[in-house]
Amino acid sequence: MLRLNGIKLKPGEPVEFLIPAVCKALRITTEDLVRWRVSKESVDARNKGRILLVYNVDVELPPALEAQILNRNGGEDARIKKVEEHLFVLPQPERTFAHRPIVCGFGPCGIFAALIFARSGLRPVILERGGSMEDRIRAVSAFWDQGQLDPACNVQFGEGGAGTFSDGKLTTGTGDPLNRFILSELVAAGAPEDILYKQKPHVGTDQLRMIVVNLRESICNAGGEIRFNTCMDHLELLDGRVTGVGLSGGELLPADTVVLALGHSARDSFRTLHSQSIAMAQKPFSIGVRIEHLQREIDMGRYGKTALEAGLPPAEYKLAMRTSENRGVYTFCMCPGGYVVASASMEGGVVTNGMSFRNRAGDNANSAVLVDVYPSDYGSDHPLAGIAFQENWERRAFEAGGANYNAPAERLGDFLGTGDTEGKRAGQPKPTYRPGVTWTKVETCLPPFAAKALREAFPRFGRMLPGFDLPAAVLTAPESRSSSPVRILRNEKKEALDVRGTAISGLYPAGEGAGYAGGIMSAAADGIHSAMAALRSRE
């Protein structure tokens, strides 16, 4: 198969226009094409007067013709190269499993770990503290509409994990060879095929919910069992091995293989594991705010006057800088046409996140603007000090918002001290956070170093992206769950370690909660790697 890079189309031109361009570049006819597919699509917005869509196209030709083109090219045209398809092959278990594998958590990491076990014929048992998708949607709606938080079933906990109520981003910087397999499984479960080639693929919260349910059915059809509203209470450990999982209701499940796909908000589970002498370490994370602009303002900043052209997707951005005190500030989880959502899982705490639907048709764009937090900021060397740090600022936000799960919010002009009379008069953009916002000073629920860093970053970001520092932009606080502040230590076989540094056979901490992933794709990949490590284990 040959890959032809850098074919350009105007926004709005159908993808079929690629065929004559491919044939011209390769000097072939359409009859020579066995099959073709887009391998990558991106937006080239460097020239705002002439924005283009750029494609890489994979082409299968008769072998003799392919060889002829490569020989003729002789490496002179860097756009043309040979590529090989790498198919994921499921390894067979190298030992007999005395018990069904147990997967704790049914987010991306747990889903894909369970999928591997199920397809290996091992009939995994999945424990999910939250409810099924149907129950979870009802619980989240009650929270957003009436401020009624269910600590066990919410934006963080339940079928699909925290990513379910997000933009459904499928970008990853890991370059893991499993990425193509994961995307293909999502397509098989109902995701649109364009996630296979978009530079910044996403499915949206609406489609992701359906996809997760279809993955659940696939696991169950292969022999898996999912227990919703079921939480791990403790582990049974004996002579350096995991022997079972105790449930909150008192039941004990025997086990010789347990994947801990807990998610970054399972704070009670982290405390339980720490009490059982599972080795953990502090880990840096980030804290900050959600910023909302009108999507059309971001479109103008990125695309210029061509923002009104049909065929251009809602504009995205990714900004980063270091402050004068060498602290990183960056945008994260940018949601075009999206919403800021209440994401608390702790009673008496406020947390924000971003979400959008597949069509990204909302009036506002939002993203987190985050400041690096280091273990030295925690004020303690306890492994779980980062969790206490998070909880402190989430509680302060709850009080600042009115102790009713409203979030503290402030116009950017007021936060920077530049004034915002125009924004207040126009009332745009309107905050999208539900149940609602309380207009106050957001710095009261941020560490002082974070507020200082944000004040330095916003004007700089405004120079990078025109319109980003408009005074009417809305800040909603805090964003505190972008990653886990703790890492569960493991060895090269992905087995957990105890506090003496000894491996615990059969126990596999994985994914974002364990500190080894950040986002849907990397969490799914780590779940697969952990399941495969269990399959390859000979103990």
Encode 302-322 in three state secondary structure.
HHHHHHHCCCCCCCCCCCEEE
Specify the DSSP class assigned to residue 430: P
Contact 473, 429 (CB under 8 A): yes
Contact 348, 262 (CB under 8 A): no
Mean pLDDT estimate for the chain = 95
Q: Looking at residues 70-92, what average pLDDT do you find?
A: 81
Q: At what angle do helices 179-188 and 520-536 cross, to 10 degrees?
A: 110
Task: Read off the pLDDT band of 425 (50, 70, 90).
Answer: low
246-265 pLDDT, tens digit each: 999 899 999 999 999 999 99
Q: Which residue has the tokens 């003799």?
A: 64
How remote is the C-alpha of 192 from its chain's centroid?
A: 18
Whether the pLDDT of residue 537 is over 80: the answer is yes
Task: Read off the pLDDT band of 88 (50, 70, 90).
Answer: confident
Task: List, by residue range, all CATH 3.50.50.60 domains of the chain.
Answer: 102-281+487-536
Q: At what angle do helices 204-221 and 108-119 cross, to 10 degrees?
A: 30
Q: Looking at residues 13-26, what average pLDDT do you find?
A: 94
**59: nearest Cα among 20, 87, 9:** 20
Task: Read off the pLDDT band of 87 (50, 70, 90).
Answer: confident
The beta strand positions in 93-201, using DSSP E, are 102-104, 125-128
Predicted TM-score of the model (pTM): 0.94
When mean pLDDT is compared over 91-95, 197-201, 325-329, the highest value belongs to 325-329
Whether the pLDDT of residue 368 is over 80: the answer is yes
**476: nearest Cα among 354, 372, 355, 359:** 354
Contact 303, 45 (CB under 8 A): yes
**Cα distance from N-terminal residue to C-terminal residue, the chain:** 42
Rounded to whole angstroms, the Cα distance separating 240 from 506 reads 9
Task: List, by residue range, all CATH 3.30.70.2700 domains of the chain.
Answer: 2-82
Of 248 and 368, the structure prediction assigns the larger pLDDT to 368
What are the angstrom distances between the C-alpha of 88 and each of 112, 122, 176, 177, 220?
13, 19, 12, 8, 21
Contact 118, 533 (CB under 8 A): no
Whether the pLDDT of residue 49 is over 90: the answer is no
Task: Read off the pLDDT band of 307 (50, 70, 90).
Answer: confident
State the pLDDT at residue 86. 80
Task: Read off the pLDDT band of 101 (50, 70, 90).
Answer: very high
CATH code of the domain occupying 102-281+487-536: 3.50.50.60
State the pLDDT at residue 267. 98
State the pLDDT at residue 75. 60
279-306 pLDDT, tens digit each: 999 999 999 999 999 999 999 999 988 8
Whether the pLDDT of residue 99 is over 70: the answer is yes
Asked: is 2-82 a CATH 3.30.70.2700 domain? The reply is: yes
Residue length of the chain: 539
Angle at 464 between CA 460 and CA 466, to 5 degrees: 100
State the pLDDT at residue 48. 85
213-245 pLDDT, tens digit each: 999 999 999 999 999 999 999 999 999 999 999
Helix, strand and coil in the chain, % to nearest 5:
35, 25, 40
Task: Read off the pLDDT band of 539 (50, 70, 90).
Answer: low
The beta strand positions in 280-433, using DSSP E, are 280-282, 285-294, 320-322, 328-335, 339-342, 352-355, 364-373, 407-411
122-174 pLDDT, tens digit each: 999 999 999 999 999 999 999 999 999 999 999 999 999 999 999 999 998 77
Whether the pLDDT of residue 119 is over 80: the answer is yes
**77: nearest Cα among 162, 19, 156, 7:** 7
State the pLDDT at residue 424. 58
Whether the pLDDT of residue 309 is over 70: the answer is yes
Helix (H, G, I), strand (E, B) or coil at 502: coil
